[in-house]
Amino acid sequence: MALDPKTMAYINMFGVMGAMENLCELDASARALLTNKKPIRLCFDVKDGPKATFTFANGRVRVDPGVHKCDVKIPLGSPQKFNDVVDGKATPIPVKGFQHIGFLTKDFDKLSKKLESYLRPTEEDLADPEFFEISTTLTLYVLGTALAQVADYDEIGKFSAHLIPDGDIGFSVKDGPAVTIHFKNHVAAAEKTRAVKPRAIMEFESIELARALFDGKVNALACIGNGSITMRGMINMIDNLNRVMDRAALYLS
């Protein structure tokens, strides 16, 4: 059951790179990299794949779907080429905005590396409580966003999604970060906020447990048995979302 480059590209764009906006909210040193007052809009335009605009200014990043008012535009010929860029196997070549090459090669590169350090942490890094919390929070956001991409683009993910009725699923850490997955006509969208009126909730009792689950150190079913993961509401929504999560984990691994 091969992974689909297009789904991977959507995950890379909105899940992995999309976490830059949260990185800057959570990490002061990341914010400090973005001292420019005038916004710089970096657009990725992937043929037959995702398109997004990253706006950098005043210590903040905003990610919007589509390409708008680009200061720097990077076209990619295919989802796989975009994935290669994210994986560091290819160098992106902008067609517009050469005056911002400095931003790309310095600030953006540093931001990307910082994000990577949180998403691929070492055991030593995770020993620092602050790093641990930021890293786990970002991982939750990436996973939550990836769920929506897998449900919308991966063939097996779409099969799971077609069994999920309309409504919101809350995916959260108790007293911690949360993601809402919206389903409407079996199309998913993720929002990095706590669900207001969910039809189903899956919640981890602590951020430590979330980390252990992400790292595969504990079994989710055993956690349901001991009550450290709670599920409520339309369990069929969660059940099918869990199938999507299995698939998302393959992409993210």
Partner 1 sequence: MEPYKHTKSREWFDRATKVIPSGVYGHLGPAEGNFIPVSKWPLLSDDAAGEYARGSYFWDVDGNRYIDYMCAYGPNILGYNDPDVDAAALAQIKRGNCVTGPSYKMVELAELMVDTVKSADWAFFAKNGNDVTSCAIMTARAHTHRKKIIFINGFYHGVSPWTQKVDYPGVIPEDVANNLYIDWNDIPALEKVIAENEGEIAAYIATPYMHGNYKDNELPAEGYWQKVRELCTKHGIVLIVDDVRAGFRLATEGSDAFYGFEADLITFCKAIANGWNVSCLCGKEFIKSAVSSLSYTGSYWMSAVPFAAAIANITKMRELKLPGLLREKGIKVTDGLKAAAENNGFNLIVSGEPALFYLRIANDDSLFLHQEWVAACVERGIFFTSHHNHFINYSLSDSDINETLEIADEAFKVVARNHPELF
Site residues, partner 1 (CB under 8 A) = 1, 156-157, 159-160, 163, 167, 198-200, 219, 221-222, 224-227, 230-236, 240, 243-244, 246-247
Least distance between partner 1 and beta carbon 139 (Å)? 22
Least distance between partner 1 and beta carbon 186 (Å)? 13
Least distance between partner 1 and beta carbon 153 (Å)? 14
Would you tell me how many other CB atoms lie within 10 Å of the CB of residue 150?
A: 32
Between 100 and 247, name the residue whose CB sits nearer to partner 1: 247
Least distance between partner 1 and beta carbon 189 (Å)? 19
Q: What is the DSSP letter of 16?
A: I
**14 within 8 A of 49, measured Cβ to Cβ:** no
Q: In whole angstroms, give the CA distance from residue 7 to residue 3.
A: 8
**115 within 8 A of 23, measured Cβ to Cβ:** yes
Q: In whole angstroms, give the CA distance from residue 15 to residue 173.
A: 18
Between 17 and 213, name the residue whose CB sits nearer to partner 1: 213
Q: In whole angstroms, give the CA distance from residue 35 to residue 23.
A: 15
Between 41 and 243, name the residue whose CB sits nearer to partner 1: 243
Least distance between partner 1 and beta carbon 9 (Å)? 21
Between 45 and 203, name the residue whose CB sits nearer to partner 1: 203
Terminal Cα distance for the chain, rounded: 15
Q: In whole angstroms, give the CA distance from residue 97 to residue 42.
A: 9
Burial class of residue 98 (count of CB atoms within 10 Å of its CB; 0-12, 13-18, 19+): exposed
Between 100 and 243, name the residue whose CB sits nearer to partner 1: 243
